[in-house]
Each structure stands twice: as structure tokens, then as C-alpha cells.
Amino acid sequence: MLKIDGITRRFGQVTALDGVSLEIGQGEFFALLGPSGCGKTTLLRIIAGFETPDSGTVTLDGDDLLALPPNRRPISLMFQSYALFPHMTVAKNVAYGLEREKLPREEIRRRVGEVLETVGLSAHGDRRPAQLSGGQRQRVALARSIVKRPRLLLLDEPLSALDKKVRADMQLELKRLQNEVGITFVVVTHDQEEAMSLADRIAVFDSGSVRQVDEPVALYERPRTPFVAGFVGANNTFEGKARAAGLDAGDLGELAGTPLDGLEEGAGALLCVRPEKITLAEIPEETEDGAEGLEGAVLDVSFYGGVSHLSVDVPGHARPVLVAVQGASAVRPGAKVRLTWDADDAVVIPVPS
């Protein structure tokens, strides 16, 4: 439905976007995820019409978007700063875009009423933005973006101004709303948890290129490049050579894992395993060497309520291995432990040479 094809944009020496192609489906909630400076905002601005690419095309249902000025594109934008008019009531703020289009007053009233109902603010139409909480102001901004019934809503770091609790509520709310209104949403964020919780699919950007496009779970469990593995979630990685059943990690021995399709035996590779996929067992004093898995010593244990994180020093591995366990952990710093995982829960990916 939204088709981005070979978009390149340079600013002097900087290549902000380097031949980016993406296809986003009708009604999809799609996230552009990446660190600061990777080009995701530039792509959003090109879709909206505030920026022109050096090459490439963008079409919406087959129509050339780049040929249209921003105000003629069937697109709304929602920014992180709510940009509400402080002197206008909530209802006026929402009606503003429709009034500019000179729609009949009765139709404006009806549509504003409907959309305030959708975002749960029917009772607040007469208030001013200053009388609302951060989450409520966010809803007004959203109401204002959808009242014009765009085919596409672009959201630029929509929740970054909210505190953690409100943000979690708004994530649920945004997802519910997107389902309800059926508009295609494209959100830009540098926050991988936010992208995961909101989006049906995510494109991970790095240095102006898309590294992987996938559903959140696939991205999390099956990263395809070292960048994605490192950027999406806390990940443990081990370097070595690919083997049919995992990785030859040199001094650390053979580690269990599933190589990505097409990865040749002996090729330079990384094994990635998520903290919550690792089983940690204390080693009784009398155990002999030679059992499978990695041996190490617990460096530190942090309790977060629902989960505990343990960091484990594995001799021969440069970084501590992170293990997540449910609830509180009885294991204490200094304990000798063995770390194991199922081959299916670890992925072996190529390292570009």
C-alpha cells in the first residue's frame, strides 16, 4: 500500500538514507527503529513531504506521493511535542484542521464528537490543554491527527515526552486505537521496547540502511545481523566459527545453536542467546569437568520484581553473560554456575568479513 523504493538522501558528505526500500501494508502498524542519526526521521519527513529525496520513489496505493505538496498528501503527522493551541478548547483544537478545510459546521461537530469519543475524551471537549494530564494531551493530539481521516498517520517519537507509567498506558491505547480506526500507522522510535510493543512489523535502521524487517518476535529471537542482535534487546553474543549444530567458540568449546539458513560451516559467525533463554544451575562442589554448557561465577544479582538479572563471568569470554530468571533468585554472587540453553533458542548469524 505504501511503497518506498530506492530512496537516497544526502546532506553534504552525510548519506542520511542509502537506497532504502520498504513495503507497508494497508492497516499495518509499522515501526522505523534505530539509533539517533540512522535516517529514520529523514524518511518520515520524505513521506510527509517536508524533505525531498535525491532519488527513489514513494507511492501510496500506486499514486506518486512525491509529486504532491505536503498539504495534498492524505497523511497526518503526530509529533512528540503535542503542539496543541493553548488558548483553544480541546474540541476547538480537534476541529481546527476541519475548519481550515471549510467543512459544514454540523459535519465538523459530528466528527469532532465521534473522534473525542474514540480517544475517551468526550467529557473534556470544553477544557483547555493546560487542564489536562500529559496522557490526555497526547490523546487530543491523536484525535486531531485522525479527525481528518488520513490514509496514513506518521508518528515521530510519539510517547517520548511521557513518564514511564503513562507511556505504558498510552502504548496500549495507541494499539487499540489503531485497530479501531484501521488507519496505517508508521511510527519512528529509537526505543526498541516501544517498537516491539506497538508494531506489527519493524524495520531496523543503521547508518541510512534497513538491516532487517520483521515481526517483533522474529526480530527478537532471530536477528539476522550483528547490528540487529546488538540493538534489539540485551543479547549475549559469542564469536567463533559456524558449525552444523551451533558455534565453535574456540577456548569456550562448542556452543549449541541453530545457524541461519545458508550459513556455511566454518564461516565466521556470532551465536546470540537471549538472557531469559539461558538456564542457570549452581554447580555442586564435587562435579567433574566436561559437562556441556558454559561454566562461570556469578558477579552480581539484581532483583527487579518480576525478574532477576544475574551477570556471570565466564573465563575466556570478554563480557559478562547476562541471565534473566523469573522472580527472585536464590543464587548469590560468587556462586559457581553452569549455563545451558536449547539449540533452538540460540541463533548463529554471519559476521561480515
Q: Specify which residues 103 forms β-bridges with.
A: none
* DSSP structure string for 205-274: EETTEEEEEE-HHHHHH---SHHHHHHSS--EEEEEEEETTEEE-GGG-EEE-EEPTTPPTTSEEEEEE-
CB of 38 to ligand ATP, least distance (A): 4
Q: What length is written for the chain? A: 353
* Binding footprint of ligand ATP on the chain (CB under 6 A): 11, 14, 16, 34, 36-42, 190
Rounded distance between C-alpha atoms, residue 37 and residue 271, angstroms? 28
The residue nearest ligand ATP at its CB is: 41
Q: What is the CA radius of gyration of the chain?
A: 25
**Between residues 36 and 71, which has the closer beta carbon with respect to ligand ATP?**
36
CB of 18 to ligand ATP, least distance (A): 11
Those residues with Cβ within 8 angstroms of residue 120's Cβ, 6 or more apart along the chain or in another chain: 139
DSSP assignment, residue 200? S
**Between residues 41 and 258, which has the closer beta carbon with respect to ligand ATP?**
41
**Between residues 15 and 197, which has the closer beta carbon with respect to ligand ATP?**
15
Pairing label, strands 152-156, 184-189 = parallel
**Between residues 14 and 299, which has the closer beta carbon with respect to ligand ATP?**
14
CB of 160 to ligand ATP, least distance (A): 10
CB of 14 to ligand ATP, least distance (A): 5
CB of 51 to ligand ATP, least distance (A): 8
**Between residues 11 and 85, which has the closer beta carbon with respect to ligand ATP?**
11
**Between residues 42 and 258, which has the closer beta carbon with respect to ligand ATP?**
42
Q: Which cell goes with 32?
A: 522505523
**Between residues 31 and 249, which has the closer beta carbon with respect to ligand ATP?**
31
Other Cβ atoms closer than 10 A to 106: 8
Any idea which residue has 550483528 for its cell? Answer: 226
CB of 212 to ligand ATP, least distance (A): 16
Residue 160: strand, helix, or coil: coil
CB of 31 to ligand ATP, least distance (A): 13
